[in-house]
Amino acid sequence: MITAQGLYKRYGAKVAVDHLSFEVRPGMVTGFLGPNGAGKSTTMRLMLDLDNGGGETLFDGRRFGTIRHPMREIGAVLESKAFHPTRTARNHLRMLAAGSGIPFSRADEVLEFVGLTDVRNKKPKGFSLGMAQRLGLAQALLGDPQTLILDEPANGLDPSGIHWLRTVLKSLADQGRTIFVSSHLLSEMALMADQLVVIGRGTMIYNGDVDGFVRNFTQASVVVRSPQAAQLAELLRRVDGATVEELTENVRHGVAAAVAAAADGADAAVADAAVAEDAVRAAGSALSPGLRVSGMETAAVGELAFQNGILLHELATQTASLEAAFMTATGESVEYRAHDLDEAPPGGPQDGPPAAPPVPPSQPGGPTPGGAA
Ligand SMILES: Nc1ncnc2c1ncn2[C@@H]1O[C@H](COP(=O)(O)OP(=O)(O)OP(=O)(O)O)[C@@H](O)[C@H]1O
């Protein structure tokens, strides 16, 4: 169990980590998530006493600095390419093993475990990022530690590598170990983590399970398709708290309808759903017009349609993705973002951090249940 209490770090006037407190429990993978520059690496360095700052981190009740052989209790990888430049992968691990009273044979065991046996006599400086990540994990596992702290371990891995990492981390967690792993990519975390600690600009945004994160930051909606969509939309709009939006395919249908109406000499502006349906049918489309309904249960939408004799072709609950939840949760706290295409380009040094990494634009803020759990 890791207990972090009041972690704090300032660089000049900038607060990088702002009184973060959280727990990382054994037996599961806890994802540490936040946009670029949120303070994840700084937090991990503070936890491992690699940086000066405020607060305290306890590993099963003890501070890192008081543990006699840290490698045998806490395996950490904070930089994916921090290896000795001239030693082979195997010798690099053997050196570390010697320093912590770990038998040499363990180097070969962990190299095999991460799939690097074939290149064990090569120097890591020629390794790809994915290979370096594997070597980093081998290094972290060298002392067979109870706790793993990994900063962006999926960086540079291809999809099969990410799948492999996920399987490894899950099986290590199943052995009762405590796994704390950071990423700025939610799609990776969605595959790996059971619990999430989400931060933005150094402050806590969410601490809890993955499903709760989606529930807190997104709203499920209902997708319904019907040849009588316009009639259904009208009924749905009368329901208290419900909002109805036409699905985008309908726009295409609407355009087709407008074209059809104009060709018939009718006023395109008054092309209604019935005309749209004709146009869709004429175009041979198999899709009925669709609606997205928020603020109503799926069953209630179905019942309303049934009570009014409306035929449905599709009725489905749509849960928002983890990605959408992440955007809502961290939208306000993204530090570096790409300029919108219609914005003036950055003009010079006064524009602040250059070369913004590709961060998607923020969405309107949702609920923000902050604070450590
Ligand atoms: N040595 C430093 N000097 C000054 N500012 C720093 C230093 N290290 C980090 N920062 C700043 O502190 C903030 C947190 O950085 P940190 O690297 O911890 O974020 P991160 O969440 O790990 O980001 P990323 O996902 O991009 O790795 C950022 O604004 C960063 O610019």
Find where tokens 């590993």 sit: 59
Residue 38 CA, closest ligand 1 atom number:
21
Q: Is the model more confident about 320 or about 193? A: 193
Closest residue (by CA) to atom 6 of ligand 1? Answer: 11
Query: Ligand 1 centre from 332 Cα, in Å?
Result: 17
Q: What are residue 32's DSSP bridge partners?
A: 182, 197
Identify the band that residue 299 occupies on the pLDDT scale cut at 50, 70 and 90.
very high
Compute CA distances 268 → 6, 194, 255, 291, whole Å: 63, 53, 9, 22
Percent of the chain past pLDDT 70, that is, above it, reads 76
Closest CA to 180 of 9, 53, 373, 26: 26
CA of 42 to the centre of ligand 1 (A): 6
* Pocket residue to mutate for ligand 1, from 9, 11, 155, most atoms within 8 A of Cβ: 11
pLDDT in tens, 204-215: 999 999 888 877
Tell me the C-alpha to C-alpha distance, in Å, between residue 200 and each of 16, 213, 251, 333: 10, 14, 37, 5
180 conformational bin, left if phi > 0, alpha if psi -120 to 50, beta if neither: beta
Residue 327 has what pLDDT?
76
Would you state the pLDDT for residue 335?
55
The model's pLDDT over 324-346, given as tens digits with 9 standing for 90+, comes to: 777 777 766 555 554 444 443 34
Per-domain residue ranges for the chain?
A: 2-217, 219-247+289-318, 254-286
Per-residue confidence (pLDDT) for residue 261, from 0 to 100: 46
Which pLDDT score, from 0 to 100, does residue 275 have?
52
Closest atom, ligand 1, to C-alpha of 17 = 14
Distance between Cα 11 and ligand 1 center (Å): 9
Cα(81) to centroid of ligand 1, in Å? 18
Query: So what's the pLDDT on residue 3?
Result: 97
pLDDT, position 212: 84
ipTM for this model: 0.96
Q: Is domain 219-247+289-318 annotated with CATH 3.30.70.100?
A: yes
Query: What residue's CA is closest to ligand 1, atom 2?
Result: 11
Q: What fold does the segment set 2-217 form as a domain?
A: Rossmann fold (3.40.50)
Protein residue with its CA nearest to atom 31 in ligand 1:
37
* pLDDT above 90 (res 252): no
With a Cβ cut-off of 6 Å, ligand 1 is lined by 11, 16, 34, 36-42, 184, 335
Helix or strand run (H / E) with residue 281: helix 273-282
From the CA of 12, give the closest atom in ligand 1: 4
- Per-residue pLDDT of 9-23, as tens digits, reads 999 999 999 999 999
- Assess whether the region 2-217 and the region 219-247+289-318 belong to the same CATH fold: no
What ligand 1 atom has the least distance to the C-alpha of 151? Answer: 22
